[in-house]
Amino acid sequence: MKRYILSLALVSMLLPTAAFAGEAHPLAQMEQQMQVRDMELKMAQRKTEVRFKEEMAKLELEQRRLQMDRERNDLGHWRPHRQAAHPVLCLWLIGCFVVHILAAVWVYRDMRERSAGSGIWIVIVLLAGLFGALVYALVRLGDINNNRRPRR
């Protein structure tokens, strides 16, 4: 009899838990559904972020390609605003170079004709241009006045 009572007590204790084991509590079900929806939303958000980053990477790549194309075109083709400034600058530099050379030639010839002076004046005129030639001319005028002999 003791066995019978113990087995009945054991069955009565296990029966309610076994009956509810298949069914979850309604609040627990709602909580589980909310967790699933929350995870689905997080997954959708992450997918959107990944797509956004991919699109941004594509845009940056396209921007770099366009920039490289522009740089290639700049090297191969002249821009109108650059065409106007570039020849003027080149002509000015060529003109300065020619003036320096001509002034140095003039100083050299003058020194040979007079058989006076030193070669340093040629270097000075090459570096200083017209200003150096002007200084040479002033020094020369001083030398001409000093070298004149009074007539008897």
Residues in the chain: 152
> What pLDDT sits at residue 114?
82
User: Dihedral, CA atoms, 99, 103, 108, 111, nearest 10 degrees?
Assistant: 170
Residue, of 141 and 13, whose pLDDT is higher: 141
pLDDT at 105 over 80: yes
> What pLDDT sits at residue 62?
94
What pTM does this model have? 0.41
> What is the average pLDDT across 19-46?
83
Residue, of 37 and 146, whose pLDDT is higher: 37
- Tell me the C-alpha distance between 107 and 95, whole Å: 18
> What pLDDT sits at residue 89?
85
> What pLDDT sits at residue 50?
94
Q: Where are the domains of the chain?
A: 24-77, 82-147
> How do the residues of the chain divide into helix, strand and coil, expressed in percent and rounded to 5?
90, 0, 10
- Tell me the C-alpha distance between 105 and 97, whole Å: 12
Asked if residues 100 and 129 have their Cβ atoms less than 8 Å apart, the reply is: yes
pLDDT at 116 over 60: yes
Average pLDDT, rounded, for the chain: 81
